[in-house]
Structure formats: structure tokens, C-alpha cells
Chain A
Amino acid sequence: MSRQERIAVLIEHARNPRRKWAMQDADVAMPGGSPECGGSVVVYLKGDGDGGVSDLSWTGEGDTIGMGATSIVIERVLHERLSMDAVLDLDYDGFVEDLGRDVIGNRTRNATMGLSTLKSAVRKYLKDQRADAPKERTVA
């Protein structure tokens, strides 16, 4: 894709964001954002209890890069049916390359705020799940 085509993809996602709503019955609602001025998001995650993602949505405000990239990553995880481990393995640099480094420039924090917030949501889900698991008893 050319630079203009990559920009067009981001703009299309920013203007028609996928799955942009607050999920009422989410297992995790994780806030995040760019410490610069790119915006903020909340990622809503529902797990299937077996290492899979059963539903995702998000809300947020911010610039075209931040909103477009968040929509793209949320759609990708659901479309490719990525597991939680696969989400945690997603590479920030690779994601920026996919979006187009010539488009993102040095706004990498804006571009990755959706992905980093999604990873935080997954970590929180896994941590909560571990905390809820019945503890093994040791018998003296």
C-alpha cells in the first residue's frame, strides 16, 4: 500500500470505528491512553475462561491515529480469533510497521495506545482469573 492508502485506512477506521461502545457485562474495563496528547481509550474485554477472547469493544476520544489504530487492532483480534496469549505476543513495532511508519512518524504512543490498553485488559483478566481459582490445599 502507498502512504496515502495507509492514511485512508486509518481515517476510515477513525470515522467508522469498529465495535466502539461500552460493554455492560465486560469482565474487564481497562482505561489507557497516550501520555502525549493523542487521546484516551477504555477497552472492554470478555474472556471465554479458557484463554480465548469471547468479546471486545472500546470507547475513547482522540486523534485520527489513536482512534483509527485502536479500531484496527480490536477488529483484528476478533477477526483472527487471537487467543489472550497471542494478544500479549503482538509486537508494538510490527503493529506500527503495519500501520505505516511513514504515516505514524513519532506518534507511536498514540498508535499503540489501543494495543497497549488491550494488553493491559488481558493481563487484568488473567490476574483476576488466577485470583478466583480455588487454591490447592497442602496437607501436613
Chain B
Amino acid sequence: MSEQEIQQKGYVHPEALVTTEWVAEHLGDTENVRIVESDEDVLLYDIGHVPNAVKIDWVEDLNDPITRDYVSAERFAELCEEKGISPDTTVVFYGDKNNWWATYALWVFRLFGHENVLVMDGGRVKWEAEGREMTQDVPSFPRASYPVPTRDDSKIRAFMDEVRAHSERGGALVDVRSPGEYSGELLHMPDYPQEGALRGGHIPGAASVPWARAANEDGTFKSAEELRGIYEGEAGLKEGDDVVVYCRIGERSSHTWFVLTYLLGYENVKNYDGSWTEWGNAVRAPIER
């Protein structure tokens, strides 16, 4: 698939995606481009990765180890410097599970205001399926300079009080968990231990669109027309809506946040990372089943 084919998929911001072909052509451009692998399965990077890719682990690198929050701005700057990323570096994310964790890492980078962020369409699965080069060599880049940024939680991140007010005034909400979690039959993904929340169900008014519906079999994103059919035709979103997306801890929903923001061009989409593990445990939080 060429960049032209991404253009033809009708996205509002096609520039947010690059193909595996583009990445293969930019492997050596390490001064300007940093390829970042971010997976659910943390050993995949050790098994083999895109040459010159660095690893960012969503747990160890992006989450605060004590408070349920993301790392401090100081730690984020330190992480970027270690990985040879400066504020001008174009960071290309890819990973397993249809880029689920790649879009989560991208969302956190956007919280810290990093501008040049892209996703490799199709992720790790597509790169491997095309027989492209993989390596176990961990690259080393000159330490970069990354001034401590200011994290802005107001634009793309939602907190519980805000979500509750949004729900009460009938704002658009998308629950991206599995249908069983949405209905309240399950408290976690199917087959997982049913723990993490005391109550099951969904936030009043939320539409159900499991996150992976946005992806094709080969891990690439569906076309804009197909995505509109799902999010607007089925879930009832309308152009101009302010949208809040959520899942269990905010990672699956970062994928949907990416789809709505970059591929369909919604200008005000927030990821509620407290998600069901906060809402489903909160005393007197309204729940619909």
C-alpha cells in the first residue's frame, strides 16, 4: 500500500498515517524520524522489531508507578531524551493488536504536546506479513534535548466529573468495550478475570462501538466511508459533536480517539482514561444496562 492509497481512503487527516512502505524508506532517517514500538506483549520487541525502532512500554514508561496518572512532564522529557527524541522529531508509532497500544502511546505524547506524531497503518502484523526486515538489535541514538513540556489535560483527556456532566446533558459518548462489558454481563474483556469494577454496565447515553471494528483483518484502518457508517450511521455521532470515548482503563479508547480525531476529523474528542475501572467503582455513579 502506498501513501496514495492512504490518501484514497478519504480521511480528514491522512497525514497522520504512514504506510509500512514509507517506514521502510525512512529507516535511516534517524535524525528526523524516530520509530517507536509500543505493544501489549512487552517481549515482542525483544523477539524482533523494525530496524532502528525503540521501545516504549505503556506501563513502565508512560504510567506513574504510584499515582493513577501519567508520568510527570520531567519524566516524559527524560524519556524522550533517552530515546533520542527532540520536540521536532517525527515519532512514528506502531505495535501489536491493530496498533491498540501504539495509539495509546501517541495519545500520551499528544497530552505532552508533542506535535509530530504518526501511526504506521497496519502495525506490527502488517510489517511482518510483508516479510520486511526485523532485528533484535537495540539501536542507540545520541541523547536529544527535550525541554520539560507542560502537559495539557484539558483538550483530549476527560475526568469523571466532566464526563458525568457531559452524560447528563446528553453529550455524545462512545463505549468501546466488548458488548458483554457494555451490557453489564461482564466486568472485563471476555475470558479475563471478572474483576476491576464492582458494578457492570455503561455510562448513561453511551453508544456501543467495540474499538476493533475500526480495523480491517490486516490491521489497517477501515476507510473513512466505512468508519462513518459505523460511528455516524450506527452509533449516531454527528459532525461537530463533542465526543467522550472510554473503555476499562483508557487504552482501547485511545484507538477510537485516534480514529475519530484524525481519520474522521472530529475536533473535540476526549479520552476518559479513568474509564470503567473508575466509573464502575464510584459510589452512586449512574449506570445504564
Contacts and interface: CB of A to CB of B under 8 A. Distances in A.
A19 to B, nearest CB: 19
Interface in B170-229: 188-189, 191-193, 195-196
A65 B65 CA distance: 20
B162 interface: no
Contacts of B44: 64
The number of chain B residues touching the other chain, given as a range, is 10 to 19
B201 to A, nearest CB: 19
Interface stretch (A33-41, A50-58, A79-87, A130-138): A33-41
Contact of B59 (A4, A40, A107): A107
A40 B193 contact: yes
A11 B192 contact: no
A34 B47 contact: no
Nearest to B277: A35
B133 interface: no
A126 interface: no
Nearest to B251: A37
What does DSSP make chain A's interface, helix, strand, loop or mixed?
Answer: mixed
B155 to A, nearest CB: 26
Interface residues of A, number: 19
Contact of A34 (B57, B60, B193): B193
A7 B46 CA distance: 8
Q: Which of B40, B44, B189 has the most CB of A within 10 A?
A: B40
B42 interface: yes
B244 to A, nearest CB: 22
B1 interface: no
B192 A33 contact: yes
Interface string B41-57: 11110110000000001
Interface of B: 40-44, 46-47, 57, 59-60, 65, 188-189, 191-193, 195-196, 251
